[in-house]
Structure 1
Amino acid sequence: MTQAATLFDPPAPLAERMRPRSVAEVVGQTHLLGPGKPLTRVLASGRLGSLILWGPPGVGKTTLARLLAGEVGAHFIPLSAVSAGVKDIREATAEAERLKGRGTRTILFLDEIHRFNKAQQDALLPHVESGLLTLIGATTENPSFEVNPALRSRARTLVLEALTPEDLLALLRRALSDTRGLPGTEVQPEALDLLARLADGDARRALSTLEVAATLSDPVTPESVTEAFGRHLPSMDKGGEDFYNLISALHKSVRGSHPDAALYWLARMVAGGADPLYVARRVVRMAAEDIGLADPQALRLCLAAKDTVEFLGSPEGDLALAQAVVYLALAPKSNSVYTAWKAALQATEGENLAVPTHLRNAPTQLMRQQGYGKGYAYYFDDPQGSFEQRYLPEGVDLHLYSPRGEGWEGRASERWRKLMALHGGVTPDADTDLQEQTEPS
Structure 2
Amino acid sequence: MELQLGTAKADITPLAAVPLAGFAVRQNKPYEGIRSRLYARVLYLRQQAEGSAMRQAVIVSADLLWWGSDRMPRIRQTLAERFGLAPEAIILNGTHNHSGPQTSFGFHRLLGQADVGYVDDLERKLVQAIAAAAANIEPVTIEKGEGLSGIGVQRRKYVDGRVIGGPNPEGPVDPEVVVLRFRTEKGAVKAVAVHYACHPVTTNENVVSAEFSGKAMESLERRLGGDAVCLFLQGACGDINIFKESAPAELVADRDIVDYFGLLLADTVGDVLEGPMRVLKPVPLEGRTVALPLRLKPLETRAELEALAAAGESPYDEWAEAMLRNPDGRPDRLLLELTRLDVAEGLSLLAMNAEVVVEYGLYVKAVSAGNVLPLPYSNGMIGYVPTQKQIAHGGYEPVLSTYYFHMPGRFDESVEDAMRAGLADMAGTGTSGRHERLTEGEAGGTFKA
TM-score by length of 1: 0.24
Give the structure with higher Rg (CA).
1
Q: Which has the higher contact order (CA 8 A, sep 6+)?
A: 2
Higher strand residue share: 2
